[in-house]
Amino acid sequence: MTDVPPDMPPTAPGEATQPAASASRAVRSAIEWVVIIAGALIVALVVRTFLIQPFYIPSASMEPELEIHDRVLVNKLSYHLHDIHRGDIVVFKRPKCEGGEPAVKDLIKRVIGLPGEQVQGQGGAVYIDGRRLEEPYLPAGTTTSDFGPVTVPAHHIWVMGDNRSNSKDSRFLCDNGPTFIARGEVVGRAFVRVWPPSRLGGL
């Protein structure tokens, strides 16, 4: 039987393995955090790319519904499940013919005319296929400049801003005449205003 030298006290069972166990736990914890963060980033990327994306409002064209500096969430999946509806507020890719601020890649307007419909502005109101369009989302007294009549091509929409006197929209978005927005250029439907908190609400 070998004696333990007096300057080397006996080691309690498991005591010698504690530093290694602690290091192993630290490594596992670090790996778990890396996986969690990577997973969160992937989920955020998938949501932003395919489901929901925030957008900033840079102009007054949709006042009073949307004001400058408001932020909205856009459902990018909506129109993969159903058709575009009149009255929807949509974000779409800025037409190349539009000579606005190059940094602005997307625009936001309200859907007024659908494929195959005849749209006209007359006497301060909008007419769809000869019938006056009721627009309860506009402030009382709002008038629309005369235009058209124009017929919306297949797979396109006609969009206008609620601020009819200060909106570059399908009436004169481009210098070469009426501008129809292709269905494939629509990013999605704005469905909620999330900023500022005082104006939080559905659209």
Return the active site residues.
Answer: 61, 109
Q: Cα separation of 112 and 5, whole Å?
A: 93
3-state DSSP helix/strand/coil % of the chain, to nearest 5: 25, 30, 45
Q: Report strand pairing: 131-132 vs 52-56.
A: unpaired
* Alpha helix ranges (H) inside 13-134: 18-46, 78-81
What is the total residue count of the chain?
Answer: 203
The residues, any chain, with a CB within 8 Å of residue 116's CB and separated by 6 or more, are 151, 152, 154
Is residue 192 within 8 A of residue 72, CB to CB? The reply is yes
Q: Which H or E run contains 191?
A: strand 186-195
